[in-house]
Amino acid sequence: MKIVVCIKQVPGTNQVHLDPDTRTIIREARHAVINPYDAFAIELAVQLKEKTGAETVALSMGIPATEKLLRDALCRGIDQAVLLTDRAFAAADTWATANTLAMAIRKIGAVNLVLCGKMAIDGDTAQTGPELAEFLNFAPVTAVTGNLYVWNDRLIVRHNIDGGYRDLSIKLPALLTVAKDSCVPRMPSIRSIRDGAVKPLWLWSSVDLGADLEQIGKNGSPTRVIRTFTPEITKTCQTIAGDLDEQVQALRKLIGDSLT
């Protein structure tokens, strides 16, 4: 069994910069972190590896500095990693991103299961996972909360639905998007950090994937952003004088006026 975990780099600070020309997020490696939802996907992949002896691969698309995030995944128990890095991949929307990841997964070969975070915290679209499943023709299950067991050629999985959860038996190959708090991500030990530093990590370009440049990156993105902006945050302070009853009445009036 071979499991691929898709990992995304997201800004590690509250400040997100937008490129005024491409209208895309500027991703700086200095403060980048693993997308939090993807950390849960990494842990579920390692747990399945421990149960079944599966081979695990971390896959990401980004700038060369994203390698340090893949090294983090290797330190947490993933066996090997692939970084897709090429200027041709830049400014991709979710559709072009999913298409590029699908090409890489086909190149990896013999993949039974793909795990993704439910969504990325910088975009919040939750589109890439289901689109990737469509490109691969894998059975998709979203908002997985855990309870993963392999039985013959099927996977038993629990996922969130409105008002509760549901247990499913799905036939492999499959793609799961993992919800928050589905498990407790492990912290790397000193030994695992040492092992992760020497595990194999490959850098693949668009040439390595044999990609059509019109189907990846900005050229392959059907989404067109008309306008983006960073909202200005303004705060005002008003002092309310008087005793407690007078302050309460004044506050009620202020709140009422703001709602009308």
pLDDT the model gives residue 171: 95
Tell me the C-alpha distance between 106 and 259, whole Å. Answer: 55
pTM: 0.84
Cβ atoms of residues 71 and 197 within 8 Å:
yes
Longest Cα pair distance anywhere in the chain, in angstroms? 75
Segment 71-113, tens digit of pLDDT: 999 999 999 999 999 999 998 999 999 999 999 999 999 999 9
Reduced to 3 states, what is the DSSP secondary structure of residue 250?
helix
131 closest CA partner among 178, 172, 98, 91: 98
Tell me the C-alpha distance between 121 and 160, whole Å. Answer: 19
- The percent of residues in the chain predicted with pLDDT above 90, rounded, is 72
Segment 181-194, tens digit of pLDDT: 899 999 999 999 99
Enumerate residues 6+ apart whose C-beta is below 8 A from 51. Answer: 149, 150
Q: How far is CA 259 from CA 128, 154, 255, in A?
A: 38, 54, 6
155 closest CA partner among 173, 143, 129, 132: 173
Task: List residues bridging with 140 in a β-sheet.
Answer: 175
58 closest CA partner among 19, 131, 108: 108
Residue type, 15: Q
Burial of 50 (0-12, 13-18, 19+ CB in 10 A): exposed
Segment 111-162, tens digit of pLDDT: 999 999 999 988 789 999 999 999 999 999 999 998 788 988 899 999 999 8
Tell me the C-alpha distance between 93 and 54, whole Å. Answer: 31
- pLDDT of 44 above 80: yes
